Every structure is written in structure tokens, then in C-alpha cells.
Structure 1
Amino acid sequence: MSQQAFASPRHVVVLAHPNADSFNASVVRTYCETACSCGQETIVRDLYAMDFNPVLTDDERPQKQGVRLSPDVEAELAVIRGADIYTFVYPIWFAMPPAMMIGYIDRVIGAGVTARAIQDRAGESVLSGQHMLNITSSATRDVWLDEQGQVQSLRTLVGDYLRNALAARSCEHLHLGGVVEGNSKRFVDQALYEVFERARKVCAMLAAERHAGSNRQFSADRS
């Protein structure tokens, strides 16, 4: 039986917020603590703490002569490749993810993927065949965002589009609205409980998939 069948599920958690003490950072800690309590592995990529360069160079764009990935992108791909789920945690700024997160998608998640591959839904990336979860926050409430169509637009752009273009196995979105400085402890605790519940759900799904895969591998080894 393969080593993969015995390995615990692995989560790559990508954080894009400049404040190490932000609500988003608390979301990452809660998510990772929950996954670890379920016996699963987490790898955090704090883009601001890493001083990640989000600027895509012309050499990194897929062209006729191929693509030349920068050393930092190759190193990042080596760290995150092979995870069962990629969880992206970020605030909504001006109805969009932070530029740091967009640059990470441009340079790392979508590395080497051509426009033709996207149109054909045949893009090969670290997301291909894996799960994706977006956990977002905003200062405004969900009702107001829904009136503006912002949450749905974000789900379409960073969720459905990437899932289809890069052949991700699934994509879910948890949004936490009304996050501002001075929120009560009760508000924060309730929001983080939602993160806890979603993380447990994800861990249960991954554990079930790993168990099913182990059974299939065992059956194949015996046949």
C-alpha cells in the first residue's frame, strides 16, 4: 500500500493580511488548531510575513517558448504541492481580494497555466484535483454586500472560475461580515466558532476520502 494512503490529510492555508494581530490571523489560528486537533497537517503561508513578491514578470507568463518560473515561485510550489485542500484567508477590500493574494494566484497558483488551458478547463496547477476553500471577511454586513452583489461576484471570480479553470475538485466559501475594530468578544467568538465548525467539516470530508482511498488501494493490492 502506498505511503499516501497512510499519510494524514494536508492543508495549505494562505493568509493575506498585513497585520499579524488581525481578525484574519485569528481565523488562520483557529482553522489550523482545529485541523491539528483532528490529526491533520497544516502549512501556513503568511504572504506579508514572507514578504512575498506579488508582481508577475513577463518571463513568468506562458508564451510560445514556454514559461520560466522564478526561483521563489519554484520554491513556493515545492512547499505547497500535494496538499489535499488549499484554504485562502483574506479580507475583501474594494470588492476584491488584497493585491497580495491576487499576485499569489497569478504567480503561484496559476503558474504556467495558459489561456487555452483555461478555456479548455485543462489547466494543470497545484489546485488540480484538490479542494479549495475561501474564508473572507469584510467590515460591512452580509446584507449590504448581497445588495451590491459583491459576495456572489467574489465567489464567481475566486471560486467558480478558479475551480473550473484549474480543475479543482471543489470550492467552498465562508464569508464573515461586520468585522471592524472594537468588535465585542462575543462577536469574535461567534465568528471564530463558524471557522471552527467549517474546519471540522473539511477535516471530516478529507478523512473520509483518505479512508476510501485506503480501502481502494487495499483492494487493488489484493487483486
Structure 2
Amino acid sequence: MSLVHIVYAHPGGPGQTRAVLDAFVAGLTAAGHAHTLSDLYAKGFRPELSAAELARESGRAPGAPVPEDVAAEHALLAAAEVWAFVYPVWWADCPAILKGWFDRVWTVGDAYKPVRLTARRALVLCTAGYDAEKLTASGVLPAMRTVMLTDRLGDRAPDKDLHVCDPDLARSLGASI
């Protein structure tokens, strides 16, 4: 049994992204895995990096504390063996709230310089209005993989993959688009 921490970034309501999250959670449960969830919109996660956080990250105030909400995310990530990110593709990337999550949660001494937060595996499940073939042909999917898997996840998870859950898959899960 593994503990999987899921970071979910969608403003709510029924739809394909929620259907993917629900199916993923059901699959984890059926396989005997436990999970925790950071629903960024539901918890009102603040995505903007504050001036104090920037000072800490830039080395101008290296002893400054990590904000409580960020420390809570660190604890959830540290406890999990597997991380999963579930979100819709908006303009070839994740929603701004998830980008801000990375800006704030990937802190010095935790996510880099040195890397303390690691997972055995990371999985990215994103929903899109186009299938993976069209996203690949346009160059969007390779760019998404580079940004999410190479830059954001990097060495923090040696085994990682990104899957596009296109509208046909979402429909098969019973989602209304």
C-alpha cells in the first residue's frame, strides 16, 4: 500500500477534470492505497509569492520562516510516496493557482538547495479539449512535458509521467463536458 498525495487544481463543479479525479481516487481505493488531497481552490490556496517569501527564496532573508500553508503542503508531500497532479490544460499549461503552488511550495531547503522533498513516483493527469495526438502535432504536449516533468518535478520524482485525458476519455468516465 502506498500513500498518494493529490494536488487538484480546478475551480469546481462537475466536468471532465472532476471525473478524472474521482476515477483516480476510486482506483486508488480499490487497489488498497491511501490518499491525501490538496484541493487548491476549495482550500483557498493563495498562489501569489509574497515579498517576504521572495526575500527568503532569494537569500536576502534566508532565516525567514516558511508560511504555515506552505509548511502544511510540505508535510503532505513528505508523507507520501507518490504525488499526483490533476488539472485542466489552460493555454498549454496548468491553471495559475497550480503554477503559484509550485512558486510557493518549491522552497529553498525543501525542493531545491538541497532537494529534501522527494517521491518515488509522480503522475500528472491533465484534461484537455484536444487529444494527445493533436497536442503533440502542435508542439504543445512536448512543451508541457518539459515544463512539468523536467522543470517542475525534475529530480524530485525519478519515475514520472504526464497523461492527457482527452474529451473521449472523460466521456467514458461519465463526465459532462
Q: Same fold (TM over 0.5)?
A: yes
Tell me if the contact between 1:16 and 1:48 (Cα under 8 Å) persists in the aligned partners.
Answer: yes
Report % sequence identity: 23
Please name the residue that 1:147 is paired with. Answer: 137
Q: 1:77 to 1:94 in 2, by over 3 A?
A: same
1:88 is the counterpart of 2:57 = no
Tell me if the contact between 2:17 and 2:127 (Cα under 8 Å) persists in the aligned partners.
Answer: yes
Equivalences for residues 1-223 of structure 1 within 5 A: 8-61=1-54, 62-64=57-59, 65-66=61-62, 67-108=64-105, 110-112=106-108, 117=112, 123-126=114-117, 128-164=118-154, 166-177=155-166, 179=167, 188-189=171-172
Separation of aligned partners in 2, 1:84 and 1:135 = 17
Q: 1:44 to 1:129 in 2, by over 3 A?
A: closer
Q: Shift in Å at residue 125 of structure 1?
A: 4.2
Tell me if the contact between 1:11 and 1:43 (Cα under 8 Å) persists in the aligned partners.
Answer: yes
Q: TM-score, normalised by structure 2?
A: 0.84
Task: Give the AA of the match of 1:52.
Answer: F
Q: 1:146 to 1:90 in 2, by over 3 A?
A: same
Tell me if the contact between 2:82 and 2:119 (Cα under 8 Å) persists in the aligned partners.
Answer: no
The alignment of Structure 1 onto Structure 2 pairs a total of residues equal to: 171
Decide which structure has greater helix share. 1
Q: Shift in Å at residue 191 of structure 1?
A: 8.8
Separation of aligned partners in 2, 1:114 and 1:12 = 17
Larger-Rg structure: 1
Larger RCO (alpha carbons 8 Å, 6+ apart): 2
Q: TM-score, normalised by structure 1?
A: 0.68
Q: Shift in Å at residue 187 of structure 1?
A: 6.0
Separation of aligned partners in 2, 1:162 and 1:93 = 17
Separation of aligned partners in 1, 2:110 and 2:42 = 30
Separation of aligned partners in 2, 1:106 and 1:78 = 17
Separation of aligned partners in 1, 2:58 and 2:37 = 31
Tell me if the contact between 2:124 and 2:162 (Cα under 8 Å) persists in the aligned partners.
Answer: yes
Q: Shift in Å at residue 69 of structure 1?
A: 1.2
Q: 1:59 to 1:114 in 2, by over 3 A?
A: farther
Structure 1 gaps, min length 5: 1-7, 193-223
Alignment RMSD (CA, Å): 2.5
Indicate the SS of the match to 1:95.
coil
